């Protein structure tokens, strides 16, 4: 009898290529948001699964199928998984670290350039008017040379962002998880968030943190949406305390706060930090390889639990 591997989304084909033949593979179409009940139904036949960050793997979900022994989360983060429950139930959890660092760092720099040079505003104007308007004071942005970039979370991605920022002539300061961020917020022209989401970092950037930021600064988030209190961010932007923001992640994904949608000085990307062919394929290869290793009785290479 073959093991059954459930794929909860339409992953790059390498995932199926590595698993089909040896195992029964059940593929499901990608869904933006699923309930616990829906995930329980999806995983009912699974011995192992490759899951999305948006799939809620709560204790109730993990307990629902006693045959489920392994979950490969198709992400670096795993805040969608009840890690304590997985440990209690002896379910192995893996992730896909490392391979999306360069792609996410590239997007971070793209967002910084887009918001500081008002690129999205300019694009919208040209499309709306059908004209290229050149005036000395029109759509003035700000240069990056000599500006200070504060990086919250100097892990793989934060470090990759720092390397790129220095090439633009920026001064870079950074903190690691758990370190104070007061000075960084108060002195940085641009703050870029690359910290993991946990109970301790939920709303790390709240109203008080935003108020302590340098007047006229920019906030960039390519990490996890719930690190930022979006209502407080909108207040800071409305008040003119912040000059702009650029976001690839949102507090209540897939929903986006309506106030953000109306702001011209906010760049909004649809969670595409790792969205290169190279990165997404590598993530699928890592997840499927760890599933194969586990089902063959070998230790996966990227174990979280």
**pLDDT value at residue 261:** 98
Span 10-14, mean pLDDT? 98
Question: What's the longest Cα–Cα distance across the chain?
Answer: 73
**pLDDT value at residue 241:** 98
Say how far apart CA 57 and CA 36 lie, in whole Å.
8
User: Is the predicted pLDDT of residue 178 greater than 90, yes or no?
Assistant: no
pLDDT-derived band at 177 (thresholds 50, 70, 90) equals confident
- For the domain spanning 4-99+277-295, the CATH number is 3.40.50.720
Question: In percent, how much of the chain has pLDDT > 90?
Answer: 98
User: Is the predicted pLDDT of residue 132 greater than 90, yes or no?
Assistant: yes
Q: Where in the chain is the domain with CATH 3.40.50.720?
A: 4-99+277-295, 101-268
Q: To the nearest whole number, what is the mean pLDDT of the chain?
A: 97
Burial code of 174-195, b = ≥16 C-beta within 10 A, e = fewer?
bbeeeeebeebbeebbbbbbbb
**pLDDT value at residue 258:** 97
Q: In the chain, which residue ranges form alpha helices assigned H by DSSP? A: 14-19, 36-42, 59-63, 83-88, 101-116, 119-129, 156-167, 182-187, 207-212, 230-238, 258-261, 277-295
User: Is the predicted pLDDT of residue 290 greater than 90, yes or no?
Assistant: yes
**pLDDT value at residue 110:** 98
250 dihedral zone (left: phi>0; alpha: psi -120 to 50; beta)? beta
**pLDDT value at residue 190:** 99
Tens of pLDDT, residue by residue over 71-122, are 999 999 999 999 999 999 999 999 999 999 999 999 999 999 999 999 999 9
CATH 3.40.50.300 fits 101-268, yes or no: no
Span 169-191, mean pLDDT? 96
Catalytic residues: 224, 253, 271
């Amino acid at each position: 009898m073959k093991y059954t591997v459930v794929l909860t989304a339409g992953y790059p084909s390498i995932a199926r290529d590595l698993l089909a033949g040896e195992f029964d593979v059940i593929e499901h179409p990608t869904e933006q948001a699923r309930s616990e009940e829906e995930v329980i139904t999806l995983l009912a036949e699974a011995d192992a699964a490759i899951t999305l960050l948006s799939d809620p793997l709560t204790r109730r979900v993990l307990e629902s199928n006693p045959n489920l022994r392994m979950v490969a989360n198709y992400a670096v983060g795993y805040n969608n998984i009840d890690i304590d429950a997985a440990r209690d139930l002896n379910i192995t959890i893996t992730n896909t670290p490392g391979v999306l660092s360069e792609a996410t760092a590239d997007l971070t720099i793209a967002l910084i350039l887009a918001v500081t040079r008002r690129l999205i505003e300019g694009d919208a104007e040209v499309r709306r008017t059908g004209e290229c308007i050149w005036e000395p004071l029109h759509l003035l942005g700000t240069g990056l040379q000599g500006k200070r970039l504060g990086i919250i979370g100097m892990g793989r991605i934060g470090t990759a962002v720092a390397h790129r920022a220095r090439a633009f002539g920026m001064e870079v300061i950074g903190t690691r998880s758990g370190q104070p961020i007061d000075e960084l917020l108060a002195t940085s022209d641009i703050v870029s968030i690359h910290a993991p989401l946990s109970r301790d970092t939920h709303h790390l950037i709240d109203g008080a943190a935003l108020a302590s930021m340098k007047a006229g600064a920019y906030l960039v988030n390519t990490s996890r949406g719930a690190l930022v209190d979006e209502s407080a961010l909108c207040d800071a932007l409305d008040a003119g305390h912040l000059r702009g923001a650029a976001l690839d992640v949102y507090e209540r994904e897939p929903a986006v706060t309506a106030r953000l949608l109306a702001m011209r000085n906010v760049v909004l990307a649809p969670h595409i930090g790792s969205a290169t062919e190279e990165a997404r394929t590598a993530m699928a290869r890592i997840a499927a390889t760890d599933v194969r290793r586990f089902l063959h009785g070998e230790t996966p290479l990227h174990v979280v639990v």
